[in-house]
Amino acid sequence: MGFARKVWHLLVAVKDGLVLTLLLVFFGALFAALTAQSGPGRVRDGALLLKLNGAVVEEPVEANPLADAFSGSDTPGQTRERDVVRALHVAAKDDQIKAVAIDLTGFGGAGLVHLQEIGAAMDGVRAAKKPVLLFGFALEDAGTLLAAHASEAWIDPLGGAFLPGPGGYRLYYGKLLERLKITAHIFRVGTYKDYVEPYFRNDQSPASRQAEQALYTTIWDAVKADIAHARPKANIAAVTSDPVGWLHASGGDGAKAALAAGLVDHIGSRAEFGDRVAALAGKDDSSDRPGAFAHTGMKALLAAHPESTDGKAIDVVTIAGEIVDGKAGPGTAGGTRIARLIDKAVAGGDLSALVVRVDSPGGSVTASEEIRTAIMRARAKGLPVAVSMANLAASGGYWVSTPGERVFAEPGTITGSIGIFAVIPSFEKLLGEYGVNGDGIRTTPLSGQPDVLSGFTPEVEAMLQADIEAGYRRFIGLVATSRHSTPEKIDTIAQGRAWDGGTARQLGLIDQFGGLDDAVAWAAGKAGLKAGDWHAEYLASEPRPFGAKLLAGLHNSDDGDDNSEATAPRDWIGLIAARQHAALGGALANAARLAGVSGAQAYCLECAGLGAPAVPDAKLIAALGMLSRIEMMLGVL
């Protein structure tokens, strides 16, 4: 009894400690949110300091303070690409900015189009006779490309700059699934729609290899050409053709090898880099930190130079990240959220034109269609619509681009991938190995189908494939209408194959090369507006206050609105996914009843399929969830 009492006291103490910690985190964050003041930006004489921590993206993900508190780390840093570009444009014109210092020690990479746009903006600063200095530790393709555009590129003595190039291996699970006796039901249209290959093959198909080789080679050539143009003396061939020999020539020292190849200009510590910036832009007399220099951050500079709001609005809606059903985002393209943004802007009456900025590999067909129809409603109002493709506008990303009257992209854009697929696993063979078999009554060939535990009937297999094929015909039909072609011609360039922007233009999938500014200017001209008579306005959901973000972390809801459409399945494949969850939930519920000591029961087995879907026992789910959290805390998973 004494031992049990001590254990109980320990558990109570742990519980009290956790509650106290949560309260401290909550009130500390609440205090910070209430006391934080975003005053007007103030520019200091000195350098513009750009710390590109994390990935540079089209639309950053909104941080969740509660998730960050429990994970022990912040949401991975992200920087909006257009903010970086605008800050560089402003720095080129602001007389108080003497130089630009870019810190890549925490850089997480970016897409090729974004890199090229930032590189061009860096060139603009240098053209204004202002130096651009860059510091990094371990630079790969993305960092090395940005370093090529710097007046002075510095590398830490323990770091280096490398050019591994795009590509690599992916895992194929065909034999594993066969060994585990898990059946992967593949439904697809498109010779090159290779997303599903890892689930039924053990290697890459020849068609997939051919398409991927062509795409990666084009993108890689563009990276090398950009670096070579910015740094003609860089010995790219030595770095890429014989990386081992190149590194050994400098005694295995990555920093010296990068310097020898002309990828960087100086080797030095962060403090030495800071001293160099201070010599050009001025010292920071308020700091005694080694290498401190007078500077202004990106947010302060942009706040001091707000974008013009004169004239009519050309609204820009961003479709970034995976396209999903519901209201997800920012950083994920929730179909309902984006459709509502468009409808609200159109209903406002002040909109002159719409630009759709796409940086997405695709996702849900139903969400893509929801966004597409919202854009079509804008066109039905007589509004000009332009599409601007960033790094990716593929598959569902191209689906939402089809309403565009004019489609802009860059040579480095990846687009196309016009195809549809679905993958549904079933476990009848695996369960059969352990003596578990399905049996029962069917009133039609579709009763209880598709059954992920007992197997699919031939009828449902054929119907699912027919559904995918119908979706593909709709897809190429939309593209054909958009591109003033025929479904037969589009089919020859579709088949799930992804194309680089240059090839896509030759094939007629895009209209012209150009960035977001070009698309906005075209839309303004189409609306009959002259320069100075319009401004770009970026559509975004209202930022949630701190309390709402905290509650969102505690409950799976965005706001007080009905959120049911965020999770409800909308097409047949979605209904199948929901049925999968229900079937697995029913199996878990049966297991829970077997394990539970409940006494005599009066339970209708055959009634289970006629009522609400079975769900796992709440205590079982709670126990499994607690076990998972404990394992994660202990680092087991």
Torsion angle of the four alpha carbons 81, 86, 89, 92, in this order, in degrees rounded to the nearest 10 = -100
Whole-number Å distance between alpha carbons of 415 and 398: 7
Q: How far is CA 565 from the centre of its chain?
A: 22
Whole-number Å distance between alpha carbons of 319 and 400: 9
Helix (H) or strand (E) holding 313: strand 312-320
Strands annotated E in 209-349: 266-267, 295-297, 312-320, 323-324, 333-334
Helix (H) or strand (E) holding 315: strand 312-320
Q: Is 530 an annotated catalytic residue?
A: no
Whole-number Å distance between alpha carbons of 388 and 413: 10
| 408 beta partners | 388, 512
Residue 510: which of 411, 409, 419, 418 has the closest Cα?
Answer: 409
Coil vs helix vs strand at 123: helix
Measured CA to CA in angstroms, residue 270 lies from 134, 253, 275, 517 at distances of 10, 18, 9, 35
Whole-number Å distance between alpha carbons of 13 and 16: 5
Residue 191: which of 171, 174, 211 has the closest Cα?
Answer: 211
Number of other CB atoms surrounding residue 530 within 10 Å = 9
Whole-number Å distance between alpha carbons of 637 and 631: 6
Q: Find the radius of gyration of the CA atoms of the chain.
A: 28
Q: Half-sphere exposure (CA, 13 Å, Cβ side) for 32? A: 7
Catalytic hit among 98, 130, 193, 224: 193
Catalytic hit among 208, 368, 388, 395: 395
Buried b (16+ CB within 10 A) or exposed e, 30-46: eeeeeeeeeeebebbeb
Structural tokens at position 283? 């010292």
Angle between helices 206-230 and 141-148 (to 10 degrees): 30
Instruction: Check if the beta carbon of residue 356 is closer than 8 Å to that of residue 401.
Output: yes
Whole-number Å distance between alpha carbons of 223 and 116: 9
Instruction: Check if the beta carbon of residue 142 is closer than 8 Å to that of residue 121.
Output: no
Instruction: Check if the beta carbon of residue 491 is closer than 8 Å to that of residue 420.
Output: no
Structural tokens at position 411? 């040579």
Q: Is 549 an annotated catalytic residue?
A: no
Whole-number Å distance between alpha carbons of 509 and 574: 29
Helix (H) or strand (E) holding 65: helix 65-71
Which residues are catalytically annotated? 193, 395
